[in-house]
A and B are shown apart, each in its own frame.
Chain A
């Protein structure tokens, strides 16, 4: 049974950094593209970033390009998201997702990032 467990969230000041992790199990991690999706409190969903199965290609939403970096370690079945230059409007629950027919299969409860001074 596919599982995705996000971690690494917390409270950080504007301009600060965090690294989120997503531990995958129950499927062949190295065979699938992976996404990060976020949701600000009381708001809708927003696609953040995508990385191909072998990690060679990475793509970002305009709102995070140049500040966030997606990566993966297929030997550890783990997906990462490095968040730099954080802004108050980055405050969100971040979900990792397996690509599923060009959609998002989310299995975890997400990790909350709060950017506040």
Chain B
């Protein structure tokens, strides 16, 4: 159960767009359309932002979008706002009833 690979940090100015990649293998990200993304503010619980690669739960702004190409999934935050500053984690189903997470990316709004 190897972790997915995310950059430790990302940044953007208000109003800009930023994309966070999440790289796995053909056994997880590349093998299933079951990638999800989580936002976590300091001291708070993680919040599901994207599931099944690109679906948004009710209440998540459409500024947040997900995609996948091969073994790499991506989260794009458009029209950056100050409240988007948080840690973001990706996760993927990895087959055989196992799930793996990425190490997390700290998004800074400049």
Contact = CB atoms under 8 A, between A and B. Distances in A.
Interface string B36-70: 10100000111110011001010000000000000
A97 B98 CA distance: 15
Given A100-B57, A101-B34, A61 B98 contact: yes
Contact of A95 (B32, B34, B46, B104): B46
How many A residues are at the interface, by size bracket? 20 to 34
Contact of A106 (B46, B101, B102): B46
A108 B47 CA distance: 10
A45 B45 contact: no
Interface residues of B, number: 26
B97 A44 contact: no
Contacts of A107: 45
B97 A104 contact: no
A104 B34 contact: no
Contacts of B34: 101-103
12 contacts: A45-B101, A47-B101, A59-B98, A61-B1, A61-B98, A102-B34, A102-B51, A102-B93, A103-B34, A103-B91, A104-B46, A105-B57
A73 interface: no
B58 to A, nearest CB: 11
A44 B104 contact: yes
Contact of A104 (B1, B32, B36, B103): B36
B91 to A, nearest CB: 6
